[in-house]
């Protein structure tokens, strides 16, 4: 069976779903690999590198493929080029892309969504949300260090001592912990805060100081955060204000699964920061942790410049692609049986990832939304 690697065509997407190092692994497993020309260019990988690794580089890769892999979901035009029964593996936020789900159902495509890999230990090597959050956290620290017109690390020189930068990180999940670790490696003094109990120890293990506000933890299902009440949000903002006012750089990474990002920092709080301080809001494109942040833009609030993240992992396309590709190859290996590509739909990981298969929508939340939409159009 042929696995095709699609050239990404969404603006701002520089990643690629497969890197040359992993081509031999797929070939050894019995697959042929075809890559669309220029697919790796954004990630600084040439067509020649894919060819040298054993892949075929051809514009027609999609039409003869049994499986197409990409980072972003294929657009309807390209879905139309696939043969019925073909499968796709990519990020695919199905509940926000209902029209495309219906097209996939009608075309009898099997669609697997990378963001639906369940967060269980067996699936850790396939967890692209985590691998991409890791890249985003690293990038957030580098952006903060690059924009701050101060040293991150302490320097003791004959001409005097340069003090280290003070950094505050809000939200200590995968991205936040990586931001803390990276800022620490650059020598900054880092304080971190998260609403989950386990986070304090994790912050300390990265070399940060855990901020204790004395508020009750907000733990939800599966080790994730719960949404805050407005009263709790207000208290948290009040208690965090002095920490933020004293920070040279603030990095925010807080999210609640399936919801808009919580507003953790108001514009009034940012206004208390010193002239020249930097704010990096990684959650800017999911609603924003910082009031006034703009996804993909930099705005001035008081004396601080506020950088809003948009497609941040794609800003480090080399490592982001490498990690994503490894996640995808691990998914493919899970779905490979003795006779080649044969997803076992009774497997928890396969079942969770499956959006459409054999002319049906298999993802329950998406199915409910489509049923509502189709009912409404019949009325």
Position with the least CB separation from ligand NAD: 173
Give which of 260, 216, 218, 267 is closest to 241, Cα–Cα: 267
Q: 68 pairs with which residues across the strands?
A: 4, 88
Q: What is the helix (H) or strand (E) element at residue 244, kind and residue range? A: helix 230-245
Tell the smallest beta-carbon distance from residue 348 to ligand NAD (Å): 13
* DSSP reduced 3-state for 5: strand
Q: 298 pairs with which residues across the strands?
A: 307
Q: Cβ closer to ligand NAD: 252 or 314?
A: 252
CA angle (256, 90, 182) in 5-degree steps: 55
- Using CA atoms, how far apart are residues 245 and 169, in angstroms rounded to an integer? 13
Tell the smallest beta-carbon distance from residue 163 to ligand NAD (Å): 27
Tell the smallest beta-carbon distance from residue 225 to ligand NAD (Å): 3
- Using CA atoms, how far apart are residues 354 and 360, in angstroms rounded to an integer? 10
Q: Could you list the active site residues?
A: 119, 124, 127, 130, 224
Q: Cβ closer to ligand NAD: 35 or 284?
A: 284
Tell the smallest beta-carbon distance from residue 176 to ligand NAD (Å): 6
Q: Cβ closer to ligand NAD: 1 or 210?
A: 210
Q: Cβ closer to ligand NAD: 35 or 256?
A: 256
250 φ, ψ (degrees, to nearest 5)? -125, 130
Q: Cβ closer to ligand NAD: 32 or 219?
A: 219
Tell the smallest beta-carbon distance from residue 352 to ligand NAD (Å): 12
Give which of 178, 88, 95 is closest to 130, Cα–Cα: 178
Helix 174-185 vs helix 128-147: angle between axes, to the nearest 10 degrees?
40
- A 10 A CB-CB count for 285 gives 17
> Which residue stretches of 63-165 are H helix?
76-79, 98-106, 128-147
Q: Cβ closer to ligand NAD: 121 or 377?
A: 121
Tell the smallest beta-carbon distance from residue 165 to ligand NAD (Å): 21
Tokens 């999609």 correspond to what residue? Answer: 62
Pairing outcome for strands 360-361 and 354-357: antiparallel
Residues at the site binding ligand NAD, with contacts judged by CB under 6 A:
119, 121, 124, 127, 130, 133, 170-176, 193-196, 199, 223-225, 228, 253-257, 262, 264
- A 10 A CB-CB count for 47 gives 17
Q: Cβ closer to ligand NAD: 109 or 254?
A: 254
CA angle (12, 265, 129) in 5-degree steps: 40
Tell the smallest beta-carbon distance from residue 206 to ligand NAD (Å): 12
Strand order in the sheet with 67-69: 56-57, 32-35, 2-5, 67-69, 87-90, 110-113, 354-357, 360-361
Do residues 42 and 13 make contact, with C-beta atoms less than 8 angstroms apart?
yes
Tokens of 49: 């590198």
């Amino acid at each position: 069976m042929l696995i095709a690697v699609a050239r990404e065509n969404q603006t701002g997407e520089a990643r690629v779903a497969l890197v040359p190092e992993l081509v031999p692994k797929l070939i050894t497993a019995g697959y042929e690999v075809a890559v669309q020309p220029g697919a790796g260019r954004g990630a600084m990988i040439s067509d020649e590198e894919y060819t040298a690794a054993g892949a075929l580089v051809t514009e027609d890769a999609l039409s003869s493929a049994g499986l197409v892999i990409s980072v972003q979901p294929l657009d309807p035009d390209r879905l139309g080029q696939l043969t019925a029964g073909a499968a796709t593996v990519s990020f695919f936020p199905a509940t926000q892309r209902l029209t495309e789900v219906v097209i996939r159902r009608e075309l009898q495509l099997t669609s697997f969504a990378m963001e639906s890999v369940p967060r269980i230990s067996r699936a850790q090597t396939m967890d692209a949300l985590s691998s991409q959050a890791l890249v985003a956290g690293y990038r957030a620290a580098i952006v903060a260090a690059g924009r701050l017109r101060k040293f991150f690390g302490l320097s003791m020189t004959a001409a005097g001592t340069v003090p280290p930068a003070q950094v505050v990180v809000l939200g200590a999940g995968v991205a936040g912990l990586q931001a803390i670790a990276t800022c620490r490696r650059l020598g900054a003094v880092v304080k971190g805060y998260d609403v989950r109990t386990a986070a304090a120890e994790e912050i300390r293990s990265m070399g940060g100081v855990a901020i204790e506000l004395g508020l009750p933890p907000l733990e939800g299902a599966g080790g994730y955060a719960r949404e805050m009440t407005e009263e709790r949000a207000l208290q948290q903002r009040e208690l965090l204000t002095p920490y933020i006012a004293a920070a040279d750089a603030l990095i925010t990474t807080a999210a609640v699964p399936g919801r808009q990002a919580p507003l953790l920092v108001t514009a009034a709080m940012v206004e208390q920061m010193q002239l020249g301080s930097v704010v990096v809001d990684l959650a800017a494109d999911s609603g924003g942790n910082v009031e006034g942040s703009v996804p993909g833009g930099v705005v001035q609030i008081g004396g601080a410049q506020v950088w809003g993240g948009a497609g941040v992992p794609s800003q480090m396309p080399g490592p982001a692609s490498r990690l994503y590709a490894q996640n995808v190859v691990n998914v493919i290996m899970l779905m490979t049986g003795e006779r080649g590509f044969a997803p076992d739909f009774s497997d928890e990981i396969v079942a969770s990832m499956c959006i459409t298969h054999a002319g049906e929508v298999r993802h329950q939340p998406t199915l409910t939304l489509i049923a509502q939409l189709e009912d409404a159009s019949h009325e």
